[in-house]
């Protein structure tokens, strides 16, 4: 699902929030899906419980999830959006170490990932 990159200067809670938001908006986490508990996800990602809690609160503030004591944190319906390819590409390029990566290798990797998902 998501991961936290310790070498990324982005704070861990933001990496989690952005990763989950992308999963929700792409439809990979559909409306009605229950997210892992804060404790479970914190353990899986090896971060503090408060870090995941903050990410979940920000997702709730954005209307992407809702939290109920008896049900946990649930993805809200109707959150799938069309992917902004330009933004996704810019985000991807920022994460790639360009000094030792050939653009042709990146294209091959993208095609491989595309075909494995479709």
Q: Has residue 20 got a pLDDT over 80?
A: yes
pTM of the model: 0.68
Question: What's the burial of 31, exposed, middle or buried (CB within 10 Å: 0-12/13-18/19+)?
Answer: middle
Q: What CATH number matches the domain at 12-75, 1.10.10.10, 1.20.140.10, 3.40.50.970, 1.10.1200.10?
A: 1.10.10.10
Contact 19, 3 (CB under 8 A): yes
User: How confident is the prediction for the chain on average, in pLDDT?
Assistant: 88
pLDDT, tens only, 29-64: 999 999 999 999 999 999 999 999 999 999 999 999
Q: Domain ranges in the chain?
A: 12-75, 85-117
Q: Has residue 88 got a pLDDT over 90?
A: no
pLDDT band, residue 103 (cuts 50/70/90): confident
């Amino acid at each position: 699902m998501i991961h936290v990159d310790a070498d990324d200067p982005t704070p861990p809670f933001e990496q989690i929030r952005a990763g989950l938001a992308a999963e929700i908006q792409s439809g990979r986490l559909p409306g009605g899906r229950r997210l892992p508990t804060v404790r479970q996800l914190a353990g899986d990602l090896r971060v503090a419980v408060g870090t995941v809690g903050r990410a979940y609160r920000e997702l709730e503030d954005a209307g992407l999830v809702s939290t109920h004591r008896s049900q946990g944190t649930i993805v809200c319906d109707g959150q799938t959006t069309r992917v902004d390819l330009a933004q996704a590409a810019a985000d991807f390029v920022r994460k790639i170490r360009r000094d030792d990566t050939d653009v042709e290798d990146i294209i091959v990797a993208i095609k491989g990932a595309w075909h494995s998902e479709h």
